[in-house]
Amino acid sequence: MTWKVKRGRGFVPLAMGALVGWCLAGCAGETKRVDLDALTEAEVGTGLSSQDFRSVCERMARSIVQLPQIQNATTPPKVVIAEVQNETDDPLLRADNFTHRIRTRLIEHAAGKIVFLDRDDTMTERVKQENREKERGLIAGGAPGVREGADYFLTGRIENMRAVAGTGETGYYRLSFRLTDAVTQVIIWEQDYEVKKFSRRGSIYK
Amino acid sequence: MQGGAAKTRGAFATAFSLSLILAVVSGCGPSPEQIRLRRAMHEIRHELHPDYRDALVILESKRTNPNDLNEAVLYGMCQTTVAILGGDYTTAERATYDSFALVEKYENQDREILAALGDEGIRFFRGEPHERAMLWYYAGLARYARGEYNEARMFFSQALHATRTRDEDAKDFREDFQLGYYWLGRALLKRGEVDDARAAFQRAAVVLPHSTEAKEIEQIKARRRREYADELKAEKLGYEKNSQGESPVPGIVDLSQEIARAEAPATLPDAAPQSPVLRATADFNEFLTTDYQGEANLVVMIEMGTGPFKYAKGRDAAFDHIGRCPYREASVEVYIDGHRAGPGFKLLDSYHQAVTRGVETRRARQWGKAFVKEVMKSVPVGSLVAGMWSIKADLRYWPTLAGEYHAFAAKVTPGPHTLHFRFYDVNDKYLPRYDLTRHFICVPADGELVMTVHSVENQDNAYLLTAARPGQ
């Protein structure tokens, strides 16, 4: 690789400047939020961000609390959280975190119009243990009663699609949540949230 | 005077040599840790008696060391190979998950910019697209083997996504990851998504050769013809020498016969009276049907050879190129309890994957740096700067990746079986030293058995010799 180059005072700084400029402009990478929401934060990649997480939970909680079945109920409906299906290709996504956040928001702001039953496996086992010890008289407390049954199940499904084109990639996420009647299995409420993002990774990586 | 000077020089040379030897012996050579790491990262796939546990320990310590964060994914890749080959799928799951999280979430833009401007080896190692795809494939395989089909589906999808190169010069190869589609199909089938599984299997059937592949295969075939003739001669000579004389080698077998694949026996000498194979196929199209895959209760991934490597080219090592590692194995026949059950179907050639991910973006960057450096060398002050400016390409690669991945699937009677693998070279000539036997492979009555084996020269032979000479 031998090149004959005419020596010139301005050429080398110019070439160096061009290289630095090219690298800074094209190699450092760029990620931006597009389409469905305004660009509000710098995000890495096309996955869901903390902002998406907060937005979707807030929106779902507000929607649930306005339901006539909740607002007009004489006794607060009892809700159990069921597993959220992660149908994305993202193994890092913890889908159940969404429903837990929705529960927190509802408990905080629904003023007791809705109650949640804790069906967490660990908690269920602890409650059983507690009741056994109460029955044996090992610990004080009222006689164990019958556990409450659910009126509704809160669950959801998260899907995504990704595509690569040219130097960038797009990621589309759809998060849908629903309340299902525990007796009739009628879906009394469902709402979804969509996110689409475009990302361009720096040219230093393929 | 001259004699005195020569004596002095001689004494100096002796002292220098002695001190050099002393320095090497006392600690200037590679440390035990470096030797262990070298074995774990480069040799484990080819060892007859690999120490998987030690390799996992040293790679775990490197992968989780914050000082080695830049290469954490590389260590994760090597640890995954060791764990899969050693059958430790739990460790494989952990290593692949941590590596996935790092690749997806970790960014160091300062290093990215510095690497773009100079030495590319300083960037955080994410691996090339084919390497990431293989890491996610192993991640999926480990979860699939545990029955976590949804997680397996996610990782196989990630593997497919990783191979979709963004370089336009290789856009035709974005969907050619047959191995990923095959396993995605199996995961979908397990989830009851038969239509999606069918679509995945159809894509797994598409073979897209690269532009120079036919020529490369012809060259490999010609080279193998020569090598095979030499190998047979050496076998004959070795047999004649070691089967006669005062102390013949016990258990020695004559391996100098040329055997073509067409002459492969239907049964082996120690075959069971009844064939345990209920359904098997030699037809690739039938193999990739949902019906066949749904029935198969024994799935074996057979890994052969060594994956591609990277080497430097050009002045200042500014360009990285991908080379194919030579190896003998090219195809395999599987025998179950001594009965021929069918071939393994090639689903991946690692070298093909590596060279079809595109070089457009990388070459533009590397040419740009090389050009500017050459220009700088031509001016007095610039040459000083150029001398200190490293523009080396990134030559790190996954050294324990296999060269080829073949899949075998069949429906067999539940219970313990003996699996025997006979390997052939690219000219369909039998490679007797690569025979591989696995005893007590228990196929469950419900569900399936998934296992991975890899070819190593003299694996069965080593056992034979040990058995023939008890106490030694």
Q: Is the pLDDT of residue A5 over 50?
A: no
Residue A176 lies in a domain: yes
Q: By the CB < 8 Å criterion, does A91 face chain B?
A: yes
Q: By the CB < 8 Å criterion, does A203 face chain B?
A: yes
Q: Is the pLDDT of residue A32 over 70?
A: no
Q: CB–CB of B375 and A3 under 8 A? A: yes
**Residues in chain A closer than 8 A to B192 (CB atoms):** none
Residue A132 lies in a domain: yes
**Residues in chain A closer than 8 A to B144 (CB atoms):** none
State residue B167's pLDDT score.
79
Residue A54 lies in a domain: yes
Structural contact between residues B297 and B280, judged by C-beta atoms closer than 8 angstroms: no
Tell me how close the Cα of A175 comes to any Cα of chain B, in angstroms: 17
Q: Tens digit of pLDDT per residue, chain B (472 long)? A: 455 555 666 666 677 777 767 766 666 778 999 999 999 999 999 998 899 999 999 999 999 999 999 999 999 999 999 999 999 999 999 999 999 999 988 888 888 889 999 999 999 999 999 999 999 999 999 999 999 999 999 999 999 999 987 777 888 888 899 999 999 999 999 999 999 999 999 999 999 999 999 999 999 999 999 999 999 999 999 999 888 878 888 878 889 999 999 999 999 998 999 999 999 999 999 999 999 999 999 999 999 999 999 999 998 999 999 999 999 999 999 999 999 999 999 999 999 999 998 888 889 899 999 999 999 988 888 888 899 999 999 999 999 999 999 999 999 999 999 999 999 999 999 999 999 999 999 999 999 999 999 999 988 876 555 554 444 4
Those of residues 345-384 in B touching chain A at CB distance below 8 A are 357-358, 361-362, 364-365, 368-372, 374-376, 378-379, 382
State residue B12's pLDDT score.
66
Task: Give chain B as a 3 state SS string.
Answer: CHHHHHHHHHHHHHHHHHHHHHHHHHHHCCCHHHHHHHHHHHHHHHCCCCCHHHHHHHHHHHHCCHHHHHHHHHHHHHHHHHHHHCCCHHHHHHHHHHHHHHHHHCCCHHHHHHHHHCCHHHCCCCCCHHHHHHHHHHHHHHHHHCCCHHHHHHHHHHHHHHHCCCCHHHHHHCCCCHHHHHHHHHHHHHCCCHHHHHHHHHHHCCCCCCCCHHHHHHHHHHHHHHHHHHHHHHHHHHHHHHHCCCCCCCCCCCCCCCCEHHHCCCECCCCCCCCCEEECCCCHHHHCCHHHHHHCCEEEEEEECCCCEEEEECHHHCEEEEECCCCCCCEEEEEECCEEEEECEEEEEHHHHHHCCCCHHHHHHHHHHHHHHHHHHCCHHHHHHHHHCCCCCCCCCCCCCCCEEEEEEEEECCEEEEEEEEEECCCCEECHHHCEEEEEEEECCCCCEEEEEECCCCHHHHHHHHHHCCCC
Closest residue on chain B to A24 (Cα):
B113
Q: CB–CB of A91 and B376 under 8 A? A: no
Q: Is the pLDDT of residue A2 over 80?
A: no
Q: Which CATH number fits domain B11-244+278-466: 3.40.190.10, 3.30.70.1230, 3.40.250.10, 1.25.40.10?
A: 1.25.40.10
Those of residues 384-443 in B touching chain A at CB distance below 8 A are none
Q: Give CA separation, B271 vs B89, B274, B275, B381, in Å.
A: 31, 8, 8, 77
Residue A135 lies in a domain: yes
**Lowest-confidence range among A9-23, A59-73, B244-258, B266-280?**
A9-23
State residue A78's pLDDT score.
96
Express each pLDDT in A128-154 by its tens digit. Answer: 898 888 888 888 887 777 888 999 999
pLDDT-derived band at A7 (thresholds 50, 70, 90) equals very low
Q: By the CB < 8 Å criterion, does A3 face chain B?
A: yes
Residue A37 lies in a domain: no
Q: By the CB < 8 Å criterion, does B100 face chain A?
A: yes
State residue B5's pLDDT score.
56
Instruction: Give the one of B105, B123, B157 whose C-beta lies nearest to A89's C-beta.
Output: B157
For an interface test with B, the pick among A20, A89, A199 (most B C-beta atoms closer than 10 Å) comes out as A89
Tell me how close the Cα of B86 comes to any Cα of chain A, in angstroms: 24
Q: By the CB < 8 Å criterion, does A13 face chain B?
A: no
**Average per-residue pLDDT for chain A:** 82
State residue B461's pLDDT score.
72
Q: By the CB < 8 Å criterion, does A198 face chain B?
A: no
Tell me how close the Cα of B129 comes to any Cα of chain A, in angstroms: 7
> Higher model confidence: residue A21 or residue A63?
A63
**Residues in chain A closer than 8 A to B112 (CB atoms):** 27-29, 202, 204-205
Q: Is the pLDDT of residue A4 over 50?
A: no
Residue A5 lies in a domain: no
Q: By the CB < 8 Å criterion, does B146 face chain A?
A: no
Q: CB–CB of A19 and B368 under 8 A? A: yes
Instruction: Give the one of A20, A47, A206 whose C-beta lies nearest to B362's C-beta.
Output: A206
Closest residue on chain B to A163 (Cα):
B161
Q: Is the pLDDT of residue A182 over 90?
A: yes
- Please tell me the total count of domains within chain A: 1
State residue A46's pLDDT score.
81
Q: By the CB < 8 Å criterion, does B172 face chain A?
A: no
Closest residue on chain B to A202 (Cα):
B112
State residue B147's pLDDT score.
95
The predicted complex's ipTM stands at 0.78
CATH, residue A53: 3.40.50.10610
Q: Which domain, by its residues, includes A161?
A: 42-205
Q: By the CB < 8 Å criterion, does A86 face chain B?
A: yes
State residue A42's pLDDT score.
47
Nearest to B141 by CA among B214, B92, B191, B86: B92
Closest residue on chain B to A86 (Cα):
B150
Q: Is the pLDDT of residue A38 over 60?
A: no
Residue A3 lies in a domain: no
State residue B120's pLDDT score.
94
State residue A14's pLDDT score.
61
Residue A15 lies in a domain: no
Instruction: Give the one of B104, B158, B168 whose C-beta lies nearest to A45's C-beta.
Output: B104
Tell me how close the Cα of A159 comes to any Cα of chain B, in angstroms: 11
Q: By the CB < 8 Å criterion, does A42 face chain B?
A: no
